[in-house]
Structures are given as structure tokens and as C-alpha cells.
A and B are shown apart, each in its own frame.
Chain A
Amino acid sequence: MSFSGDLYSTGGATSVLTTKGDMVDFDTARQRFGIGSANQILQVKSSLPSWETVPLADTVLTTQGDVLYESGSGLARLGFGTTGDVLTTKGTGANPVWETPSGGASFANQTQNLASTFTTSSTSFVTVTGLTHTGTQTSGYSNVSFTGSVSANDNGHVIEARITKDSTKIGNATYEGTGSTPTGNYKNFVQTFWVTSDTVDFDFDVLISNGSYIASVQGGTTIGSNFNLMEVY
């Protein structure tokens, strides 16, 4: 089968097409279906063809970092937020937004290192000068870690060590001295604990059980003694 000439028996296409891009459709009779606008696509509406503008994502989004969402009346653009913002839903019937985050944990450290070694012949507790820590913490929740590196200058003689917080003992230990070698014989007195009071005042105290000998608390930044208070917000 082949065709030639006007396909329409009456009222040929030339009678309804007037503009470049026009098409013919049929409702109750053949009719002109005028060309649409740029980028429109052909859809069916009410059983007839229709040129429609469809909001494709790449027509809504304009800038790197934009986010596409449904606004209730169509696709919408949420422009890129500010550095560090988080995307927050506002619940049913609302659009998402960028917000500055609140909550989460952050930390602040307060450290007191014993700068130089402290020695004593005291047979009752003495506070190790340079290894006291007084600070404040506002979050109400801080972790304190303490390391005291202690030794005595003779085998068998006992060093007693303790930590006090606001003059109250919160930890103690005893060690036997291992000789006069200045390095290698130190033992670490390690304690960790939580504090919740606003002001914290820590002391580290030592004594030697026999006053003929010497207790030593090692200072210095490499293998020293220190308090570290880590506040959790």
C-alpha cells in the first residue's frame, strides 16, 4: 500500500496547520495542535495532547551543593547551606532546612604536667609541688586521668601515694622501691575518675615509709607525671 497527495479526504492538513512545528490532532474533527514552547514535552490531558513544562531536576537545581525536595506544589531547590550546617527535617507539611547543629559532644583538655622531678624524705604525706591541678569545668561532666611516676632509692622501702580532690582522698596506692637507678625503676600510679563539681582541686601526695630514704616523683614531659582533665560538653 502506498499513498500520494493529500491524505485527508476533505479539509487537508494545509487547512489547519499554520505555523512551523504545528501538528494535527483530533477531537471531534481534525484540528491544529500548535507548537509548544522550548523544552516542553507532550503529555496527555483530558484525552488530548498537551504541551507541558515539566520541572526536571536539572531545571530546578542551579548551584553545586543544592538539594532537591518536594515542596508540596512541585520540586524545589534548597540552596547549599553554610559550612558545618546539618540538614534538618521540620516534619509533616514542612520543608527541610539547613541548621547549625546543636548538641553532640565536644571536649576541652586541661593538663598539668610535673615539669621537674620532686623528691622527699618525709614519712608523712607531702604534696608534690608542681603536680597540683586547680581548674573549673562548666559542663558538669569531666574525666580526669592521673599518672604519677614514683620510685624510692632503696629496695623494699615503701612509697605511699594518694590523690586528693578538694583535700579528700580519692585514690591511693603503695609501691616498694627498687633501687637507686634513676631511670627504669619508676612505677606508674594511674587513676581515672569522673568529676561533676564545678571547681576541681587535685593534689598528689607521697611519703616514704623509712625516713632514711627518699621517694621520687618523676617529672619531665617524656615519662613524667600529670593530671589531665577532659571536659565533655
Chain B
Amino acid sequence: MKIKLTKNISCTNPIACTERIKKILVDKFGESWDDKNKTSSWHLSIFHKNNNHTIWLFFYEKNGIHESENHGKTITRKADHIIKYSGKMPTLKDIPKLET
């Protein structure tokens, strides 16, 4: 499940910016990475354009199928370490406030 957002965020340290946003999402949706089993159930990508951050959230819908965006389209690839997101599949209205 892809959720794509644009937010009026500016940052000078994209890594710190990503860490901050990821923490908000982890608090809401749980860890994306299971370090014990080396599996992933969702991921986050951010394009850090000033005042216009694009944020992609992918909550995986099937075991073994990774999802991402390529040229504006959602694409899937097989990946053994991908597991289905176990919670209720979020929608746009479930995304908490990400601005500072």
C-alpha cells in the first residue's frame, strides 16, 4: 500500500530530518524492521526539497513482495525478507502530523 505525501517541510540535514519523521511513524505504526528475523514490513523514502518534501510510505501487502515507486508507478519485486504489514493497513488519514 503506497501513501504519498507532500509536506511543507524544510531541512538542512536530510538524515536528521528522516530520523525525526521515521520516529513519528514508528511510534504510530510500529517498527519497520525486525532485527531478529531480518525482515521488513514497511519503508519510508523522502525527497527533501525545501518547503516541499515528498514522502513515500509503503506498507507491504504480501509476504515476499517489495513495493516501491518507479517513474510515478508502483512496482513490485520479489524479496524474501519482506513480510506483510501485520497491523490494519493505514490510509492517508491515519498519517500523523509530520511537520515540526
Contact = CB atoms under 8 A, between A and B. Distances in A.
User: Which of A118, A126, A212 lies at the interface centre, i.e. has the most chain B CB atoms within 10 A of its CB?
Assistant: A126
B46 A124 contact: no
Interface stretch (A15-23, A79-87, A96-104, A127-135): A127-135
B71 interface: yes
A39 B46 CA distance: 87
Contacts of B82: 123-124
B16 interface: yes
B19 interface: yes
Given A123-B81, A126-B45, A129-B54, A182 B13 contact: yes
A119 B15 contact: yes
A127 B58 CA distance: 13
Interface residues of B, number: 33
Interface residues of A, number: 27
Nearest to B75: A127
A61 B68 CA distance: 74
Contact of B32 (A121, A130, A180, A203): A121
A117 B48 contact: yes
Interface of A: 115-127, 129-130, 132, 151, 153, 180, 182, 203, 210-212, 214, 216, 219
